[in-house]
Amino acid sequence: MQDAPPRKNFVFKLDVLFEDEYLAAIHKPAGLLVNGNSFKTIANALTQNITRSTLSDVTKPQPVHRLDFPTTGILLIGKTSSSIRALNTLFKNRAIKKTYYAVTIGVMQPEDLITTTVDGKTSKSKYKVLQTVDSVRFKKLNLVQLEPFTGRKHQLRKHLSGIGNPILGDKDYGFENLILNGKGLYLHAYSLQFTHPFTNENLYLKDELPKRFKKLFKDI
């Protein structure tokens, strides 16, 4: 019986934001899965975009966390077996500070801590409104900085929808009369801050806000 031919890499250019021998950070565009059964995933495009490590436990580069299909932003990649394990441990121990930006709909408190459960599990997200603009269709649009303290699936989207301020463009958790079509989800993973597990350097890695955010909020 003949062996199945090896699966080809998904040819797709990724923007690399940071890279060393152990790890990398890339920009995840909207409309791509991080990994899974689909061929067109970030995971399948990494080999051609990431420089192969020269360390002895080098392995195929792997994402060590996920971003939703419509979400843009910074994604952390492990390049060696030991770094993948170490980064997974940092995420498990909540030792990586994640900051997101979103555009939300409606009037909001200036800042708050949301602690409603997600899928029956304890969840915690903090938000702070940075700017608000008037909108003919949506009344108010807010530029919001978000920090999730737990990592539940769709946590930020569910939390904001749950307080009556869904993210602009969210077709899953938005309100029927306030769905924005064709512009995507206005949720962006902006930064990751953590201590490098091998060099002990304090890393602050960021992915600048997309232009569509800046079109709504001129002063950012």
Element holding 63 (H helix, E strand): strand 58-63
Q: Which residues pair with 19 in a beta bridge?
A: 24
Contact 61, 80 (CB under 8 A): no
Task: State residue 11 phi and psi, 5-degree precision.
Answer: -80, 110
Under the banding of pLDDT at 50, 70 and 90, the label for residue 7 is low
Is residue 1 scored above 90 in pLDDT?
A: no
* % of the chain at pLDDT higher than 70: 96
Q: Which residues pair with 101 in a beta bridge?
A: 145, 188
Contact 186, 102 (CB under 8 A): yes
Burial class (CB in 10 A: 0-12, 13-18, 19+), 65: middle
What one-character-per-residue DSSP string does 68-112 give?
A: -TT-EEEEEEEEEHHHHHHHHHHHHTT-SEEEEEEEEES---SEE
Under the banding of pLDDT at 50, 70 and 90, the label for residue 183 is confident
Which pairs from 122-128 meet CB under 8 Å and 24+ separation? 122/150, 123/150, 123/152, 123/155, 123/159, 124/148, 124/149, 124/150, 125/149, 125/150, 125/155, 125/156, 125/159, 127/160
Nearest CA to 80 among 96, 62, 94? Answer: 62
Nearest CA to 81 among 98, 68, 103, 62? Answer: 62
Nearest CA to 104 among 148, 163, 190? Answer: 163
| Domain annotation for the chain: domains and CATH numbers | 16-93 (3.30.2350.10), 98-178 (3.30.2350.10)
Amino acid (one-letter) located at 210: P
Q: In this predicted model, what pLDDT tens digit does every residue of 52-88 receive, in sequence order? A: 999 999 999 999 999 999 999 999 999 999 999 999 9
Q: Which residues pair with 143 in a beta bridge?
A: 103, 131
